[in-house]
Amino acid sequence: MEILFKKYFIKFLIILFWILTIIGFIYIPEFVKHKFSKRTINIFTWSDIFDPNFVAQFEVENNCRLNFNYYESNEELLIKFKTTSGKGYDLIIPSDYAVEDLRKSGLLKKIDKSKLNFLSNLNPLFLGQYFDPNNEYSVPLEWALYGIGVDYDQFPNHKLTCGSWDLVFKRKCVPTTIAMVNDPREAIMFAANYLFNKTSDLSSQELDQIKQLFLKQREFVEAYVEFRADYLLLTKNCSTVVCPSPYIWRLKTKYKNIDFIIPENGRFFTIENVVLPIDSKEDDLVYKFINYIFDKNVVAHHFNSFGFFPCTTDVLDIIDIDEQAKKILSMSKEEFAKFKFFKTNVPDYKIHELWISVKA
């Protein structure tokens, strides 16, 4: 009896050993992965905001991984986030009107300001704006002016004979062709301001006038672009381009024939903001990264690399700026008030219908 018990007990131990071995092979890798793998945060942003090689230092310091995914327009960001209800990302960098849309759609979580160490360095000009009046959901990171890049080599006698927005909308003022923005909201706001000196409360008749203006303009548009305007200007495919300031700023520091014109009437600008999706994970790591990207040396590197103006003031003494940029960065509250957001009460569907009819 004792011998039979030992025999069965040994068989039981053998079976138990193999069961535990199989369970180990199945579950131990998952346990190790969960316990010892690097934490990850997923970032959805513009392509020219962060230098991945530079922020790699953060990965080393925090034993983590940063996954960057990029969008080319706020429209693309909004469509994707509304489709997925904001799931899958821990940090995004939308522009002002996109922040308002995401906030009103319930896709953002409030910022815990107690975890931020740079708030005293934020320029008050960029706080309390219409899209987030109390900055509960967003923190301004960078900003850019929209203006007109010109190549003086292509103008007779290297001189401009027309007003700034005429260089975009009047054929006789353009020696060759132009590059126009491809964002319908931005394009329509430029046209509305040009024709009526307003961007909201546009009647059906006024929208039709805007459409007719675009149809005439289309005859001398080389391309509708967001990010290649500087290339089209440099290669002399266009004599005039409409685009954000960073792309022309890089050129004008190297080429004397290139200039960036800030229109007197219709100074549009955009603020890029740090926000947290409602379903974001790893909040402690996300806040560490936010503090990291607002460090003055990191801000200076990204300005010198990409040209977006900083929303912090402690960095102004260590960035490379020319006289024009210095004047802009030291502007008064009264001067800042002359700038316009891409804000309108024209319904999105009307904006898209008009743009499709122009480009069809």
Phi, psi of 252 (to 5 degrees): -65, -20
pLDDT in tens, the chain (360 residues): 555 555 555 655 566 654 554 444 333 333 433 443 579 999 999 988 899 888 888 999 999 999 999 988 888 898 888 888 878 899 999 999 999 999 999 999 999 999 999 999 999 999 999 999 999 999 999 999 999 999 999 999 999 988 899 999 999 999 999 999 999 999 999 999 999 999 999 999 999 999 999 999 999 999 998 778 899 999 999 999 999 998 888 788 889 999 999 888 888 999 999 999 998 888 899 999 999 999 999 999 999 888 899 999 999 888 877 777 888 888 889 989 889 999 999 998 999 999 999 988
Residues 216, 227, 146: CA angle, nearest 5 degrees: 70
Fold of 39-143+273-333: D-Maltodextrin-Binding Protein; domain 2 (3.40.190)
The three-state secondary structure class of 70 is strand
Could you state, in order of their start, the residue ranges of all structural domains in the chain? 1-32, 39-143+273-333, 144-269+342-359
Two domains, one topology: 39-143+273-333 and 144-269+342-359 = yes
Nearest-angstrom CA–CA distance, 190 and 312: 28
Q: Which of 132, 197, 229, 205 is nearest to 340 (CA)?
A: 197
Using a 10 angstrom Cβ sphere, with 0-12 exposed, 13-18 middle and 19 or more buried, the burial of residue 229 is: buried
Q: pTM of the entire structure?
A: 0.84
Note the CATH architecture for domain 144-269+342-359.
3-Layer(aba) Sandwich (3.40)
Nearest-angstrom CA–CA distance, 78 and 2: 74
Residue with tokens 């008749």: 205
